[in-house]
Amino acid sequence: MQFYHSESQVGAPTWIRTADFQTTTGLRQILKNKGNRDDIMAFIEERRLPVDEIEASAIADEILSNPPEIGYLTISNALQWRIQYSRVIEKAGYVSGIERLK
């Protein structure tokens, strides 16, 4: 799993709101608790994200520099990384950046 982001008009990364809800919530809690790079790497390992230590380290550095927004999808690696959409459907029209399509 990668944490995708896009460049905003001023050049600063802006996290896309399609990340996993539990992962982004957990990462933001670590940062709120003044967690460090090792805490983030341990979290990545506990979530069993398919990355090696070098990639986990790079992701941790990116997260420290550019904390993610809360994502609204549910991604289950137990289900071959199937994406579940119920949370994002519930939030459509209520959260900035998540639109309800008709």
- So what's the pLDDT on residue 78? 60
Average pLDDT, integer, range 75-88: 63
Average pLDDT, integer, range 11-17: 47
In this structure, the strands spanning 82-84 and 74-76 are antiparallel
- So what's the pLDDT on residue 61? 95
Name the pTM for this structure.
0.66
Q: Using CA atoms, how far apart are residues 19 and 66, in angstroms rounded to an integer?
A: 14
Average pLDDT, integer, range 30-44: 96
42-51, 54-63, 87-96: the lowest-pLDDT one: 87-96
Does residue 47 have a pLDDT over 90?
A: no
Count CA within 13 A, CB hemisphere, residue 95: 14
Q: Which residue has the higher pLDDT, 59 or 11?
A: 59
